[in-house]
A and B are shown apart, each in its own frame.
Chain A
Amino acid sequence: MSRAVSEVVSPSSNEGEPASWARRLVGNQQFMLFVVFVAIFAFFTFNDSVFASVSEIGNNITDFSTLVLLAVGETFVIATGGIDLSVGGTSGFAGVVGAIAMEHLAPHGEWVVLGVGTLVCLGVGIGIGLINAVLMHYARLVPFVATLVTMGAAEGMSLVLTGGAPVGSNFGAITLTEPKISVFSYPDIIIILITVVAGLYLHYSKFGRYTFAIGSNSFAVRAVGVNVRRHLTWVYVLSGALAGLTGMFIYMRLGSGAPSAGVGTELVAIAAVVIGGARLTGGSAQLSGTVLGAMILTIVSSGLIIMNVSPNFNQVAVAILIALAATFQALRKGSRADV
């Protein structure tokens, strides 16, 4: 017995030894992302001090709020080894349906309108999440295909409902996205709170544990009696719900429901998750990384606007960031294999 004990222990014992803290920091993706964020911020500020102005920081936070919930939902999905291509289309469709509903409710006073509108957007998001789950579980589609289907359907339905033009103009709603507490608007604060709670759930709850476990080895999870299908349903519903809320935020930001509002944003959200260090095959993700990824993507695009650089460079910059993040991850993995 004691032989077994010693054998299993020995190879592990040197890894926990104190490598210098500096080396540990460099090996920490979150820390590196933070350094990159600060460097990019400093670069843009050096270029034009307006970048560090309260007003531009407020703009950036609005942009961040538009992106981060999609990226949070995507983080859960990617942690299970799936992908949700429908979040962008869902946010647009939810915004459109919400806008139409709110237009009809207009006589009922602002808070009723916004409250019900939020619920409608949430409901649309949850509905699309459920459809994704049904397509995966019953039509046996892989997540990529299932969510591609709902992405197309949501984007198409938005156009059909609106005829391509924005609907339900309500410029009163725009004031809600203006800074109220320091540089934050009320919706910003709600979105940040949701992000924090989601992070706690992903990393410290049973729900998060199964999310990672399914991405790592769904067979093992099923074998211990966890209902994997049900869990995945919840994950896609969560992703859809967060996309629905994003649709509401976009509605407030634009003061109308815009059919093409969410188009393409799923790719930005996925980019934020990947830059944040998640593995696309599942099992490994960090919500703090996703948040940093979203922050970096936000300031890169707004900084390029302030610099008046050819906007095409934005896409190149994002591509470079993704490549760097992926390389960093691969290198880190390689060094671990050497241990």
Chain B
Amino acid sequence: MKRDQVRSSSGRRTRFAGAKAVLSGALAVSSLALISVGSATAASASAKKITVAFVVGAEADPFFISMNAGAQAEATKLGVNLIWQGNPSQYSPSTQIPIVQQVISQLQSSKPSALVLGPTDPKALQPYVNQAIKAGIPTFNVDSSVANLKKVVSFVTGNNAQGGAAAADALATAMGYKAGKKYNVAVGMTSPTATTNVLRFQGFKAEVAKKYPGIKIVAEAYSQSSPTTANSNIQGWLTKYSQGSSTALNGIFAIDGTNAEGAASALQAAGLACSATSCGSGKVALVGYDAYNTNVALLQQGIFAALIAQDPAKEGMLSVLNAYNFLTHHKVKGIKHLITLPNVTLTPKSPAALLTKYTYQTA
């Protein structure tokens, strides 16, 4: 339970590795077509107002706050009645299931309606998805999915493997990668069971193997969702690879928010952090994940060489649109079953507007 409570930046994303593997090759282009369809049909909404209910993991997480904003904007545009539910802080099936049950009965009495669920566990939430579908409520997945996606109309999510690969590219750039030279890199993760971590790390490793033979992954450690533990892991590495005031460690991939925070503070303490103006030799290049506003601030200071950002607002927006189209046309036609949104690489040089756009919102 504990690990789940702080899911904010760790294992929130889907745990369904199989589905993700299929998704990893998919492109997001298809979604562009859908946007225009949605806009066109907005005016001709059917007599009865459509209700779309989202049930997410942890409502207060900026990731979901951003998703909510995207969903709300789209709902307003389409004249859809949006219900937004989720436990404030606990990312756990035990708190999510009662909410889902409640929402299903609510939706039954306000048809036409659809359920958009970001399941906190692929197996535990499966029966409730089945129940909703049986009750005639079309069901969608967002961000994470249930184990059996067959009857789910559509699943919109970020592409973790692509994000991991993008992180490898960003890190190589930040270290000034040159063929023939050797680079030591460490990876800070949350836990061995968080599939988001695993997928990002797999993508990272695959990209390194493909493009950067000089990069050696010398250490991996788990923070168990605690930035303090992440900090102490990274302190240990810095000591191990220390060479006087310099270091033999060239880069760190902080795979999630807690590691980003722990790494940034450990590098600051050791005087090995890069700055906006320089990230020369003897400093450690840091690439992080998720555009929480504190991370973006550190990016602007140059402590992060790059941040890999997801696009939760777009996930929310597309989910509403898909639900609307399905309910309006009563068929799956034109709605892609799996929609994988690529992650975006943000750097200190990214334009301010881009940084603002991708920074996760707070309440």
A residues bordering B, Cβ < 8 Å? 48, 50, 53, 55-56, 59, 62-63, 66, 155-156, 159-160, 163-167, 169, 171, 174-175, 177-178, 250, 253-256, 258-265, 301-302, 305-306, 308, 311-312
Inter-chain contact B232/A302, CB cutoff 8 Å: yes
Q: How distant is the Cα of A163 from the Cα of B239 in the complex, in angstroms? A: 33
Inter-chain contact A264/B268, CB cutoff 8 Å: no
- B85 proximal to A (CB < 8 A): no
CB distance from A120 to the nearest CB of B (A): 19
When the two chains form the complex, which single residue of A163, A165, A174 contacts B265, counting CB atoms closer than 8 Å? A174
CB distance from A64 to the nearest CB of B (A): 10
User: A177-B269, A254-B231 are contacts. A164–B58 as well, Cβ < 8 Å?
Assistant: yes
Q: How distant is the Cα of A166 from the Cα of B262 in the complex, in angstroms? A: 11
CB distance from B6 to the nearest CB of A (A): 4
Q: How distant is the Cα of A311 from the Cα of B191 in the complex, in angstroms? A: 9
The 9 closest A-B pairs by CB, nearest first: A164-B8, A260-B6, A159-B89, A165-B292, A305-B236, A164-B61, A258-B227, A156-B89, A254-B265
Q: Chain B: which residue is nearest A254 at the CB level? A: B265
Beyond contacts A155-B89, A253-B228, A258-B227: 11 other A-B pairs, Cβ-Cβ < 8 A, are A48-B240, A50-B239, A159-B60, A159-B61, A165-B292, A167-B294, A174-B269, A254-B227, A254-B265, A258-B261, A302-B236
User: Count the B residues whose beta carbon is within 8 Å of the partner chain — how many?
Assistant: 53
Q: How distant is the Cα of A301 from the Cα of B232 in the complex, in angstroms? A: 9
Which residues of B lie under 8 Å from residue A254 when comparing CB positions?
227-228, 231, 261-262, 265
CB distance from B7 to the nearest CB of A (A): 8
Q: How many inter-chain residue pairs (CB < 8 Å) link A and B?
A: 151
CB distance from A71 to the nearest CB of B (A): 15
CB distance from A15 to the nearest CB of B (A): 45
CB distance from B301 to the nearest CB of A (A): 8
* 10 A–B contacts from the bound complex (CB under 8 Å): A59-B232, A59-B236, A160-B88, A163-B8, A164-B63, A165-B293, A174-B268, A253-B269, A254-B227, A254-B265
Inter-chain contact B294/A165, CB cutoff 8 Å: yes
Q: How distant is the Cα of A263 from the Cα of B258 in the complex, in angstroms? A: 12
Inter-chain contact A261/B221, CB cutoff 8 Å: no
- B42 proximal to A (CB < 8 A): no
Inter-chain contact A178/B269, CB cutoff 8 Å: yes
Binary A-proximity of B220-236 (CB < 8 A = 1, otherwise 0):
11101111110111011
Which residues of A lie under 8 Å from residue B62 when comparing CB positions?
163-165
- B81 proximal to A (CB < 8 A): no
Inter-chain contact B228/A250, CB cutoff 8 Å: yes
Q: How distant is the Cα of A62 from the Cα of B265 in the complex, in angstroms? A: 13
Q: Chain A: which residue is nearest B290 at the CB level? A: A165
Q: Chain A: which residue is nearest B295 at the CB level? A: A165
Inter-chain contact B242/A55, CB cutoff 8 Å: yes
Which residues of B lie under 8 Å from residue A256 when comparing CB positions?
261, 265, 294
CB distance from A152 to the nearest CB of B (A): 8
Q: How distant is the Cα of A167 from the Cα of B9 in the complex, in angstroms? A: 14
Q: How distant is the Cα of A305 from the Cα of B61 in the complex, in angstroms? A: 30
Inter-chain contact A260/B58, CB cutoff 8 Å: no
Inter-chain contact A169/B297, CB cutoff 8 Å: yes
Q: How distant is the Cα of A55 from the Cα of B270 in the complex, in angstroms? A: 10
- B105 proximal to A (CB < 8 A): no
Q: How distant is the Cα of A63 from the Cα of B231 in the complex, in angstroms? A: 9
Q: Chain A: which residue is nearest B7 at the CB level? A: A164
Q: How distant is the Cα of A253 from the Cα of B261 in the complex, in angstroms? A: 11
